[in-house]
């Protein structure tokens, strides 16, 4: 079965858990659940989490990035892009396509943009 990783910010933790649980219920395998972590309080903890997250992205067949996302998520996005992995980029609104808030990398052919209700993201990933 396909392996996945979900990248986002701590403020989207409930959405990350929702997407992960939906995919797991459909037989997909999550490579790492960072939502189980507490916020790091030392550089050593940051290093350990960074290694786990990097390894999870490398192990995944595809990643999902839920916007708004922080700098770590964008680094994970870059790792996946560099590895030629499928990337699903999700936003509840059209910020992905607004010139003021978009990134050049959001528009590459390897990126599947999903805008709107989260269940449409689940449908796109599992089709």
> What's 106's domain CATH number?
3.40.50.450
* Domain region containing 111: 3-126
Q: How many domains does the chain have?
A: 1
Give the pLDDT score at 11.
93
Sign of the Cα torsion 36, 124, 65, 68 reads: negative
Rounded Cα gap, residues 38 and 24, in angstroms: 22
Cβ neighbours, 10 Å, residue 82: 9
**Contact by Cβ (8 Å): 93, 115:** yes
Query: Buried (b) or exposed (e) across 17-48, using 16+ Cβ within 10 A?
Result: ebbbebbeeeebebbbebeeeeeeeeeeeeee
What pTM value is reported for the model? 0.94
Task: pLDDT tens for the chain, 127 residues: list them.
Answer: 799 999 999 999 999 999 999 999 999 999 999 999 888 889 999 999 999 999 999 999 999 999 999 899 999 999 999 999 999 999 999 888 888 889 999 999 989 999 999 999 999 999 9
């Amino acid at each position: 079965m396909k392996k996945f990783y979900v990248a986002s910010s701590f403020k989207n933790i409930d959405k990350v858990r929702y997407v992960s649980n939906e995919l797991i219920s459909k037989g997909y395998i999550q490579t790492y659940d960072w939502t189980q972590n507490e916020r790091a309080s030392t550089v050593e903890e940051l290093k350990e989490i960074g290694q786990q997250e990097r390894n999870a992205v490398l192990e995944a067949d595809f990643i999902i990035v839920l916007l708004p996302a922080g700098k770590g998520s964008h680094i994970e996005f870059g790792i996946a892009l560099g590895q030629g992995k499928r990337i699903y980029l999700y936003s509840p609104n059209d910020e992905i396509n607004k010139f003021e808030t978009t990134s050049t990398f959001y528009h590459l052919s390897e990126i599947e943009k999903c805008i709107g209700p989260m269940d449409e993201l689940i449908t796109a990933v599992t089709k």
